[in-house]
């Protein structure tokens, strides 16, 4: 169980690091904390309380990175995710 929590925490750290890289070109001045937007929908620990938004906890880091890249390149579209 402890190993799963470490893996889950690592995946969230990787997610937020990837998101920071993803939005850094759009947010050059750093005036907005984009990770706050992620937490609002996907939950502070990656477990969404709203069925409209998927939980990210337990997802593999490679999957999260590939999905973020799909939003970045326009392969996937969503108004909120491409803000």
pTM of the model: 0.58
pLDDT confidence of residue 28: 47
CA distances from 56 to 29, 47, 63 (A): 28, 6, 10
**What six digits make up the tokens of 76?**
């996937």
- How many Å apart are CA 33 and CA 39, to the nearest integer? 11
CA distances from 17 to 2, 36, 41, 50, 61 (A): 23, 13, 17, 23, 11
pLDDT tens, per residue, the chain with 83 residues: 445 555 566 666 666 655 555 544 445 445 456 678 888 899 988 999 999 999 999 999 999 999 989 998 999 999 888 77
């Amino acid at each position: 169980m402890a190993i799963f929590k470490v893996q889950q925490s690592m995946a969230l750290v990787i997610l937020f690091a990837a998101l920071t890289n993803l939005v850094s070109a759009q947010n050059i001045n750093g005036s907005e904390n984009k990770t706050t937007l992620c937490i609002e929908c996907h939950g502070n620990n990656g477990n969404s309380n709203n069925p409209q938004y998927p939980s990210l906890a337990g997802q593999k880091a490679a999957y999260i990175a590939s999905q973020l890249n799909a939003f970045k390149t326009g392969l996937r579209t969503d108004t909120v995710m491409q803000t």
